[in-house]
Structure 1
Amino acid sequence: MNSDDGFLPQVSVVVPVYNGEMDLPELIESLRSQTYPPHRVEYLLVDNNSRDRTSAILETAAKLDQITIRHLTENQIQSSYAARNKGIRASTGEIIAFTDADCRPESDWLENLVKPFVDLEIGIRAGEILALPGKTILEQHADRQNTLSQKHTLAHPFCPYGQTANLAVRRLVLQQIGLFRPYLTSGGDADLCWRILRETSYKMYFAENAIVRHRHRSTIKQLQSQWYRYGESNKYLHELHSVDLMREFTTGEYFYRLARWLLREFPLAAAKSAIGGADLVDLFNTPIGLLNVRARSMGQRQAQLPESAWDIERF
């Protein structure tokens, strides 16, 4: 984008950070590389009660003059949505964009994310989320399944939504419908988008060329935690929006899929692997998927929406 295009709104990028010392150096470098004019963007990085060197790293980054980095803190509520609200309320931009500390926006991410807002009917813009290179079988499985792609959430049968790893919203929209629910711990991105699309006339735009790369989970514990939160999100959104989102395998379906893998899929994949036609992901795709489904089911069953999660913060 250049000045000849004429549309250069002031942009605020909000990033919640919790124990992000390992991710922040690469994230900040990605922000420095953005092609959007630096004098038209501020980056608000909100420390959500981290216990590592996050605060020190952000303090140092805020003193650099290449780009405008503002170091904020949200220590009262342990929730990424509360941290995002802190950033929103401190922001000055006409457009407010979101990404996460463990994401790596490509250099033209912000430029491509902001362009469509020249159309005043567009209230939300979702960019694509692709995987960072992964070495473990779990990372490769998630990559092959496009687990984090916005194409899944934008095709949601109830109402489309974009994930906050790569999302932008017009400030006027948030002034109209409110901010994130600060006490919600999962599903807040869907909740915000659904309120916008169902309570206003604004439209959502998908920008496939506005790319953020995200690191997939590399351990079973991390992967199960991710899918458990997906289950919690289903339960919370089920209650907040009175819509049936509870997807769960029965015990019979679960064991049927496992038996089919053992008796049919695994032998076929093993035979292909012997001649170089399959890899470990092909061999163990089904059991990894079943573990994910089990974790999501547990999240759905065990999640309890707190009364405070109904609260919507305002500017």
Structure 2
Amino acid sequence: MNHSPVHATTTHSFLPKVSVVVPIYNGEIDLPDLISCLLSQTYPKDRVEYLLVDNNSSDRTLTFLKTAAELSPLTIHPLSENQIQSSYAARNTGIRSATGEIIAFTDADCRPQPQWLESLIQPFINLDVVIVVGEITALPGKSILEQHADRQETLSQKHTLSHHFCAYGQTANLAIRRLALEKVGLFRPYLTTGGDADICWRILMAKIGKLEFAPNAVVQHRHRTTLKELQSQWRRYGRSNRYLHELYGVELMPGLTRKEYYYRLVRWLVKEIPKNILKAIAGKASFVDFLSTPIGLFTAKARYLGQSEAKLPEQAQIIDWL
């Protein structure tokens, strides 16, 4: 398996039909910006279809999708997944309606950059490539939490590509050859988190082909702005870790002992704060530097809580098929 960087180049001779699948739950606010980003794509419009799947939204998402399909120069298919409340079930609904040989994925709250699709598709010119992972960067943020997450590169695919068990890509920026989905199945529709890793691992373990990283295929995403959102995000990471442990035997993330927790807090107060005060006087430290340790402890605790409380639902064993 190889996930070395592939630098995208414009190749007019390689333009496979692409289906872009986007699951949407209460995405009314995000959709105008998303559609604008899709309109800006450099990949030929007549070679792409956009399957936008409403997952039982309570806002006007579906109405917006139908209007966009009528008025947009893009090929937009508005779809609904109302049986199962899960982004993976919604993606499966999109895949089943897809006609492209490459299926690309992003999310409603993502902002694909103009070269995104062109860069994401190019590595597939090599028939050995069955998964391509693009990069996820942060939309500009002003809050302390956003600046901290940006510094930690929380969203970057480099974390998933270097996973100790097996590399994978997040569905915010991922493309899979249809042939691979025909062979190993679709997403687990009842899984609520961890499905990105699961589908990539099933494909890679089946030895169908390899994974490539396309760093120029960039999607921007907004970091969490409140402690509640941040806690929810990291609890979900913890649940994902537990589910993948139960499905694959992936090693669980160790939690901090009370002793380690207090040691880090004391070290922050006694050592890091004085050091950062001196740096701030010299103009080399910001407010984010002062809060890096407590925010890190907060997210570590949230992840461990999510991991401790989670239990893989029995239905999550089910894999959908084309």
TM-score normalised to structure 1 length:
0.97
**1:250/1:6 Cα in 2 relative to 1: closer, same or farther (>3 Å)?**
same
1:247: Cα distance to partner? 2.9
Q: How many positions carry a matched residue from both structures?
A: 315
Give the Cα separation in 2 of the matches to 1:155 and 1:145.
15
Residue 241 of structure 2 contacts residue 250 of structure 2 at CA under 8 Å; is this kept in 1?
A: no
**Which structure 2 residues correspond to residues 259-278 of structure 1 after superposition, within 5 A?**
259-278=266-285
Residues 113-152 of structure 1, C-alpha deviations (whole Å, 9 max, x = no match): 0011011100000000000000100011000000010111
- Is 1:290 aligned to 2:300, yes or no? no
Residue 102 of structure 2 contacts residue 176 of structure 2 at CA under 8 Å; is this kept in 1?
A: yes
1:3: Cα distance to partner? 9.5
1:227 maps to what in 2? 234
1:108 maps to what in 2? 115
Residues 41-98 of structure 1, C-alpha deviations (whole Å, 9 max, x = no match): 0011111111112112111111124111111111111111011001001111100000
1:4: Cα distance to partner? 6.5
**Which structure 2 residues correspond to residues 226-265 of structure 1 after superposition, within 5 A?**
226-265=233-272
1:272: Cα distance to partner? 2.1
Give the Cα separation in 2 of the matches to 1:270 and 1:164.
41
Runs of 5+ consecutive residues of structure 2 not aligned to the other structure: 1-7
2:183 maps to what in 1? 176
1:201 maps to what in 2? 208
- Identity across aligned pairs (percent)? 64
Give the Cα separation in 2 of the matches to 1:102 and 1:280.
28
- Is 1:46 aligned to 2:53, yes or no? yes
1:204: Cα distance to partner? 0.1
Give the Cα separation in 1 of the matches to 2:297 and 2:226.
15
**Which structure 2 residues correspond to residues 1-315 of structure 1 after superposition, within 5 A?**
5-315=12-322
1:269: Cα distance to partner? 1.2
Give the Cα separation in 1 of the matches to 2:9 and 2:222.
31
Of stretches 182-191 and 46-55 in structure 1, the one that deviates more from structure 2 is 46-55
Secondary structure, aligned partner of 2:27: coil
Residues 266-306 of structure 1, C-alpha deviations (whole Å, 9 max, x = no match): 22112322342211110100100110000000000000110
TM-score normalised to structure 2 length:
0.95
Of stretches 283-292 and 258-267 in structure 1, the one that deviates more from structure 2 is 258-267
1:201: Cα distance to partner? 3.3
Residue 10 of structure 2 contacts residue 118 of structure 2 at CA under 8 Å; is this kept in 1?
A: no
**1:275/1:114 Cα in 2 relative to 1: closer, same or farther (>3 Å)?**
same
Give the Cα separation in 1 of the matches to 2:201 and 2:231.
26
Counterpart amino acid of 2:240?
S
Residue 238 of structure 1 contacts residue 246 of structure 1 at CA under 8 Å; is this kept in 2?
A: no
1:38: Cα distance to partner? 0.3
Give the Cα separation in 1 of the matches to 2:168 and 2:11.
32
Secondary structure, aligned partner of 1:5: coil
What's the Cα RMSD here? 1.4
